[in-house]
Structures are given as C-alpha cells and as structure tokens.
Structure 1
Amino acid sequence: MDKMELVILETSDVHGNIFPINYGNNQPSDVGLGKVATLIKKERAKNSHVILVENGDLIQGTPLTYHYARINSGRSNPMIVLANELNYDAAVFGNHEFNYGKEILASAIEESKFPWLSANILNKETGEPYYGKPYIVKEFETGLKVGILGLTTPYIPNWEQPQHIEGMDFADAVETAKKWVHLLKNDEKVDLVVVAYHGGFECDLETGEPTETLTGENQGYQLCMEVEGIDVLLTGHQHRQIEGNMINGVIVIQPGNNGIALGKVTLQVEKEDNGWRCVHKTSELLSVTDVEADQGLLEKVSAYESDTQEWLDQPIGKIEGDMLVRNPMEIRTQDNALIEFINRVQMEVAGVDISNTALFDNISPGFPENVTMRDVVSNYIYPNTLKVIRITGKDMKDALERSASYFKQYDGGEIEVNPAFSTPKPQHYNYDMWEGIDYLIDISKPIGERIVKLEYKGNPVELEKEYDVVMNNYRAGGGGDYIMYKNKPVIKDIPTDVSEFIANYILENKVVKAKVNHNWKVIY
C-alpha cells in the first residue's frame, strides 16, 4: 500500500460525564461518554486505521464519580470500565486525575487495559517518568509507525493537595517534549509524532499574541513553534472547542469538555523510500448533539448510576428563606444568603472569622426549601478541601482587586464580565466573595483601584497586619492567578471535602435560616 488514511480520535476533559443528563435537575443534556461512544463506533466502522486517545481529566467531575470515589470505591472505577470497553490506545494524566488522591488514581491505572502517559511528571528521586510510560509506539500492518507522547500541564502543584502529588516533580512541557520527540524520531524511527497534551494555548492561534499571563500552565502554541517534529497536537484543559487550525505545520484540536464533542484528526500519508510522509492534515469536532447514547455502554455502569441517584435524592434538611440562584450576576454584585451560608460553614469548620468562596458556575441553582445531596453537589461541584492561611492586609486587598477585575469597567450600561474571565474559558470560579470583612468594589474605577472600602471589625484593614483566612485548597495554593497566596503559612489544613461539610451542617441543624448581613457590594 502506497497511501493510507489515519484517523486519530480524542476525548478530553470528560470530567466524569457518562450519562446524557444534568445531575442538578436530572434533565437531558448533550454530554457524556455514552453519546461520544456512538461517535467513536461510527468512526471505527468507517475507517480501518484509528487511534483513540483520552487526553486527561477523565475520572473526576460528576456526582457519579464523587459517589464512587468517596462512598463506594470498593469496585472498579466506572470511567475505566467504559474506557476499557471503548478500547482506548492510551490516556494522559490531567490535573483533575489527582483530586481524589493517590489510591483512587493508582486503582484507575491498574484497572486500565491501556497505558497512562506523561513524560513530564517525574519521580523526584530518580528524575524518570513517575508513572513509567512517557510514550507508546503504534505500528500498523502497512509498516506505518506512530509515536504518541503524553504531556501534562506542569502547573498542578499550584492547585493540588500536596499529599496527592507527593514524590512528584512537574517538568516544563516544552523542554520535555524536545527530548522525547527527538528520541521518537531518531531512536524509535517513528513516521509520525502525535503529542497528547493536557494543556491548552497561551497565545492567539492566528497571530501568536499572548492571550494570558505566561505562567507555563498552557504551552500549546510554544510546543508547536519550538519543538521540531510534531505532526499532531491534541490539547485540552481549557475546555475550548478548537478545530481546523494549523500552527507552524502542526495540526491542532481541542474537543471542549464534559463529552460535548469528539475530536477527529485525519491524516493522509504516503509511502516513500525512507518511510511514510504526511501529505494532508485536517481536524474537526464531531458534536454529540442529536446523537443517541450507546445504551449497551451505559448498561455497563447502570448500577453506579442507580446508587448515585438514590444518594442524590436523600433529603438532608430545610432552608428557611431564599437561597436560590436566579441571576448569577446579581449574586456576584451584592451579598447574598447562599454565599454567606457557605462562608459561614467554612468559618465554623476552620475556627476563624474571615472566609472567601465563589459561585463556581452560572448554572449553580442554589438551595431550594427542601435540600437533598443533589442540591449540595450541584452547587459545590469541586472536591475542594479547606485551608487556613495567614496573609497580610496588603495580600487581602490585592486578592480583592484580583476578584474585582472580574467586571469590565462600568460605562453606564449593563454590568459586564471582563472577557479575561470568560474567554477562552469561563472562569466564574475565580471571582471570590468574602465574609468577616466589610468592603466595597467600585467598578467605575480602573482595574487595580476598585477596592474603595476595606474594614475588619469596624476598623480599616491594616496593610502590614496579619489575618487568618479560610478558603479552598485550590485558591490557597494561588490557583486562579491569586499569586499573593502562594507560599503563605498554612495555619490549618482540613482535608475533608467542602461539600461534606455543607451537607453535614444541614443534616445537624435540620433547618438553616437564610441570612444576609450586607457586608459587601459592587457600586459604580
């Protein structure tokens, strides 16, 4: 055979979504591995040479995976059950793979019938890849050899619990790629190099202009420009939908999140005297909208789903008053009962009198009168734990200014979100609201000059004075560009999920009164 077509299929950032539903209300939703499976099978039926890669953030993200990891982990991981059924060729570690701890991750790896790859997660002692395999080589009957290199965003230590990544170093993705791509081309003699990178793009795909602070979290553009020999770059992490783009001869793709699409790269290759050469590349996203879920696949994990649904519908208590979310922007512009309640739970658990938290997503429903576990996990969607860190008044003001940058400068019309918090990826979870201090945000002022009042117990916050504040572990590590928190003294580490604390508080009190003390608001 002198010519052949190779299809590379990618899933990424599935985040535990299997069934095509929204767990907050159990309504149908165009998400999940069940629908993606139908597309995978169609592609395999049409094409004889297919590689299927999972690009990270697979095993965490829904009540189903939470229930498995925290309550009923004595059986196989449901995400791995399905990935095995779909015959993945390889998977890459995403940052959320570590959220449930080393034990859950180790079980997932052991149960997988495919290798997990990451060339830049290294063993601190040996400097070798921590999980063994940096790459695989897939050889077809035609003699075509394809190298698949796995890379993970090295920014993980800024977010993750230290005990979950103990003994690991996270090396720069670009420098690591240079080493291993060279080895694949020269030692393994592969014809094509596919880099599966759990990370996104730090620059505009067309112009190369930086689109974010260059922290090393996303290095996709740099990989294309600086690493010689890459043919295909599979990306993720940012939850973007990217198709049809070529950067410096490298075809790139990113299939969104939650299983809303399957990434497809098609390569036309021709045989030459010294091996195979790619002569044409395309990338496209196959949407799961109007696709029927693979019922046979869903049946494999139906017991997990039944157990999760039963757990979600357990009533745990009542809310007296209003804690519903009707308008997310309104929640973020003045003190409200839902955020105040979560902050007060954090303060009680931590034994401190200052706290911050966020409304993580615009689809957060708030708490109805009769609260179930479903309501808790649909509002507090991450497996965050709590930390108390000691910060200065200046750190506090800097953090509030960072949050205040969430809003565009007010021009007399509607209050709008700063595009830096919505594009290319929604980051509503990076806007914090505080309890235990009194403050005003004036969005008519320039970014960096918006905190016009900041008081603690009736007195101005002193910039040099130290304050103990409880927040989630992601934020305490500096996640969301809250660099003022990095390397601050940890006064308390509370390694229990915040959702558990919220549920337990409601269970113990039975009735929770919605309260608002109006300690902060946005003005203009």
Structure 2
Amino acid sequence: MTAAPDRTLDLTILSTSDIHGHIIPKHYANHLPQEAGLAKIATLVERERARGGPVLWIDNGDLIQGTPLAYYQARIAPDRANPLIAAMNELQVDAAAIGNHEFNYGLDHLRRAVGESQFPWLAANIVDAASGEPVFGKPYFVRELEGGVRVAVLGLCTPYIPNWENPSHIAGLGFLDAVETAKRWVAKLRDEERADVVVVTYHGGFERDLETGEQTETPTDENQGYALCRDVPGIDVLLTGHQHRTIAGVRVNGVVVSQPGHRGENVAKVSLQLELREGRGWAVAGGSSELLSVAGVEADERVLQLVDEAERLTQSWLDTPMGRVEGDMVVRDPMEVRLGDSPLIEFINKVQMDISGARISNTALFAEDSPGIPSNVTMRDIVSNYIYPNTLKVIRISGQDMRDALELSASYFARSDGSGSTGTGDWEGGDSGAAYWRGRAVEEEVDEGGAAYWRGRVAVNPKFLTPKPQPYNYDMWEGISYVLDIRRPEGDRVVQLDFEGEPVRMDAEYDVVMNNYRSGGGGNYLMFKDKPVVRDIPTDVSELIADYILRRGTIEATLDRNWKVVW
C-alpha cells in the first residue's frame, strides 16, 4: 500500500518558442491585426502568475530574428537596446534557450543580446570548439521553490546549425549531439544538483510520430525530441520548438511534452503535481500539458509602451521610398507563382545574378503571404517578400547536382486527386508559362494575371507541410531552361534541362548563386553541401535588393518564361 504524501505542490511551467521578433500584434506588410506577439503573450503569463503557486516561464529560442523590427535593430540601429530583450526583461522570463536563428545576425549581435538580458540563456550543447565548454553561461539553472523543491532547467539546441548558418556567424563554436549531451547533464542534475524535477528546454522538435514511434522525417540530428524522451533517463518535462508545431496533451515514454507553435500565437502550459513522501523527497506524481491561445487576448500596455519608440523608428524605415516598378510584380496566388515563371521570382534571381556575376541563380517564394512588389516600392515591400536575413554564395556544382536539386523541388507537388494518373485531355501552356488542363471536367478554371490553370488539380506534397509548412524549400531557377512534369513519378520529373541552348551535361560544372541556407544543404538539398565556394557575398539579400532598386530608380517587370510545370 502506497503511503499518502506528506505535502503536495502544484508547479506551472509556461513555454514560448519561435517568437521570431513578434511583439506588436499587427502584420508589418499591411498593418492588419494579428493574433500573435509578445504583448499578448504577456497578458497570458500574468494571468497564470496571478493564480498563485510557483510559475516558471521558459522561452525556447528563435527570439531575436524574424520581423522588420528585429532586422532594424540588428542591421540599421545595432547600438540601440534590443526591444525584444527589453520586453523579456520587463516580463521577467526565467530563462531562454538558444535557437538556431539567434545566430542569423552574427555572434556579436547574439552576444550583445545575451549581455543585455537579465535572465540566463541556456545551451549545454553549444560549446567552445577548443575547450569543449558551454559558451553561453551555464548550461542549466536550478530554482528552489517552497518546501525545498529543486527544479532544474537544462537548455539544448538542435546541433544541425552548421548545415544552415553562415560559417562566420558560428566561428569557433562546436555543436554537440543533443541526446548525448543530455545524458551527461541530466545525470549531473539528478546526482549532484539534487534536482527533484528536471525540465529540458530543447530548441528542436520530434523526428518520430509521438504515438507510434515511426520515423517521420529524414534521419538526421536536426530533431531529436523523441530520442531525448526515449534514451535519456531522468527527464520529467521536454519543452520543444523549432518545428512550429502545436503539441499538447501528450506524453512520450512518460515524459510530458509540449510545443507552442510560433510567432507568439500560443503559450504551452505544463501542470505538474508534486508530492513529498517521507524518506523519499519530492517527486512528480502527475503532469499534463495544454495550449493557451492569444486569440482574443488584449495586448499588455506595458510592452506596447516599452517598444513604442523602436516600433515607430522601424515603421518609418519601412516606409522609405526605394523606387518604382514598371509592370506587375504583385503576387495574387502563390501556387501560380510556383507553377510557372513569374516577374517577382525572375527579378530576385536577376538581382542575385547581377551582384554575384553568376549566370545561373535560384530562389524561393518564402511564404504563402508574400505580397509581391507594387508599383511604388518601399523597404516594407522588400522585407515583406525577402523575409530571411540570408546572404549569397556562388558555389560550383555538377549538372547532376542541378538535376537532383530540381527533382527535389519537383517533389513539392502532389496531384490533389491522389491518382497520379494523367487523366484525359490535352496539356497546354498558360500565358505565364504554367500548364493547365483542357477538356477535363473539373471544379473551376482560374484566370488571374493572364495565367490559366485548373484549381484543385495540384496540391502540396504532405512532406512539405509537416511537421511545418516549408514553401521556402521549393526553388525556382533563372539562367537555365527547364520543364517539370509532375504527372511523372517523383525522381523522374525533370523532362527538359538546358543551359544556353544546349542540354545540361551531367558531368559538367556550373557556377550557381543561391542563399547561404541552401548552399549549406538546408532543406535537404544535400547535393549542395560542401561544394566549392566561388564567391561569398556576406550582405543580406534584402539590402542587396534595396540597393539594386535605389541605383536604378525604376525597374521593369520582365518574364522570359524559362521554366514551367506541366501537370
């Protein structure tokens, strides 16, 4: 018979993740309201604190990059106090994990942010390459609560960062395996720090189905959440992020897990019931997780006022005139853009080619809400389309690498009827270079901007939608001519591939300009990883685009229709 507890205690652990610079609950592209941001998160956190009992709030990383506000602070006004850190200080967050996007503006920027913080940053597996010691302060912290309960929080980050990040931004750092690192430190927390509760905040996600344990993504060390729960004894709670998923109400191998999405749309709340038993100390008797949405929640006025000046300066900068566009670069349908050459994508590729000197370029439409560029161009329009602080690299690849990359991009598409069959009717090209069905009874024909295609016949492959949408991993190329026939099986969809009027030779070498994320193999484009770097251009692409427009004053929307998708 189990003895009744001498005492009980309820502990609440709140986590945010992948805030990505969002404080104000408005869209930067159009000023419309947005159910997101730290100002709304603050209201939820204060509600939980007001309930009484111990509350810990841990941010899971990817905090200081992702909005024009964050960009302005990092690139335009780096000597000003970081508004994101100021907000977190004011709200008294207990700790933050280092996320992969924390490195996007370089180590000096990250170190300044850490230095301004009144809370610890945790990353046990990010170490000095020479000494092997954790770089960002202590890898964990211990909080002693009422009754002597000792709660330890260990920080980990995905070690896959060197596959994406500009090498100069992580110079001198080592990134250790998260699972092996956790084994070492969790044992220390239990044995030496006498922790009654061990929480791991891990800026990474899950590589397996949480119920079945089946592998759900390409085996790498990018996401190791499932392995942490399965292979590391002594973890009570695993707070995750990075994948932008919403996860609650789940346990993995007895470990309470959560993930709160991104942009500050939710707070993940873990509720633990602790019991003190005679001669055995405190232990976790029960636990659960849930998500608290910011939808309908009022923004905290303290936060709005705290960042008001930084926000006003950012908005003024965003409205800086850049130049004019002759023609149409507006995005009306992102699927249309991905089915055939578009003026916006052609323009970005031409900028990359002009700056780098390369004759071949690729880029992506990064988000479904990319608006395109209107006639009167401001900085707001540029950063609303090129949303990442990427730089450029020219790398030397083979013709086979090029074909393999195009096949990977072609796998972005799935036939929405699921049949994979060609059906009946003739394939014809639309005005934009897109292909569409004629003579087939389907729901609706769409004609926007001169491009015609049948809505409902093309869908996004689920592997580009889970664990999070990945529109940024579908590339479109300039400088080559190609056709993707997505009626064909994956891996055999490139039916034409030419360079300067001749078929691309599989054994020949070609210099291609692309962003640093892709050149490092990001998005599973491993054919680009470790290729010779012909030229490194360390300036942010959004700055390069702005400078290109400023120098010309007026740019022309062009369309050479060098590629199309047949479906």
1:39 aligns with 2:44: yes
Counterpart of 2:34?
29
1:223-234 matched pairs, under 5 angstroms: 223-234=228-239
Counterpart of 1:238?
243
Counterpart of 1:158?
163
Counterpart of 2:93?
88
- Give the Cα separation in 2 of the matches to 1:171 and 1:214: 17
SS at match of 2:459: coil
Does the aligned pair in 2 maintain the 1:7–1:265 contact within 8 Å?
yes
Offset, 1:274: 2.2
1:57 aligns with 2:65: no
- Give the Cα separation in 1 of the matches to 2:103 and 2:479: 32
Where do 4+ consecutive residues of structure 1 move more than 6 Å? none
Counterpart of 2:192?
187
- Give the Cα separation in 1 of the matches to 2:457 and 2:221: 35
Amino acid at match of 1:344: K
Counterpart of 1:470?
513
Does the aligned pair in 2 maintain the 1:7–1:47 contact within 8 Å?
no
Amino acid at match of 2:43: T
Does the aligned pair in 1 maintain the 2:120–2:137 contact within 8 Å?
no
Counterpart of 2:451?
none
Does the aligned pair in 1 maintain the 2:69–2:311 contact within 8 Å?
yes
- Give the Cα separation in 2 of the matches to 1:470 and 1:134: 38
- Give the Cα separation in 2 of the matches to 1:84 and 1:486: 39
Amino acid at match of 1:373: M
Once the two structures are superposed, residues 199-258 of structure 1 have per-residue CA deviations (whole angstroms, 9 ceiling, x without a partner) of: 000011110101100111000011111110100000000000101110110000000000
- Give the Cα separation in 1 of the matches to 2:93 and 2:296: 24
Does the aligned pair in 1 maintain the 2:96–2:120 contact within 8 Å?
yes
In percent, how many aligned pairs have the same letter?
Answer: 60
Offset, 1:42: 0.4
1:1-400 matched pairs, under 5 angstroms: 2-272=7-277, 273-400=279-406
Offset, 1:142: 1.3
Offset, 1:129: 1.0
Identify the range of structure 1 (40-49 vs 125-134) with the bigger mean alpha-carbon deviation: 125-134
Counterpart of 1:482?
525
- Give the Cα separation in 2 of the matches to 1:47 and 1:286: 17
Identify the range of structure 1 (476-485 vs 402-411) with the bigger mean alpha-carbon deviation: 402-411
Offset, 1:131: 1.8
- Give the Cα separation in 2 of the matches to 1:164 and 1:385: 11
1:420-431 matched pairs, under 5 angstroms: 420-431=463-474
Amino acid at match of 2:173: M
Counterpart of 1:500?
543
CA RMSD of aligned residues (A): 0.9
Offset, 1:296: 1.5
Offset, 1:336: 0.7
Offset, 1:47: 2.8
Provide structure 2 residue ranges, at least 5 long, that are not aligned to the other structure.
Answer: 1-5, 424-455
Offset, 1:309: 0.4
Amino acid at match of 2:383: V
Does the aligned pair in 2 maintain the 1:316–1:371 contact within 8 Å?
yes
TM normalised by structure 1 equals 0.99
Once the two structures are superposed, residues 36-83 of structure 1 have per-residue CA deviations (whole angstroms, 9 ceiling, x without a partner) of: 000000000013201110100000000001001000111211111011
- Give the Cα separation in 1 of the matches to 2:323 and 2:500: 32
- Give the Cα separation in 2 of the matches to 1:132 and 1:513: 51
Offset, 1:128: 1.2
- Give the Cα separation in 1 of the matches to 2:219 and 2:294: 33
Provide structure 1 residue ranges, at least 5 long, that are not aligned to the other structure.
Answer: none
SS at match of 1:463: coil
Size of the alignment, in residue pairs? 524
- Give the Cα separation in 1 of the matches to 2:23 and 2:136: 26
SS at match of 1:253: strand
Does the aligned pair in 1 maintain the 2:11–2:54 contact within 8 Å?
yes
Amino acid at match of 2:287: K
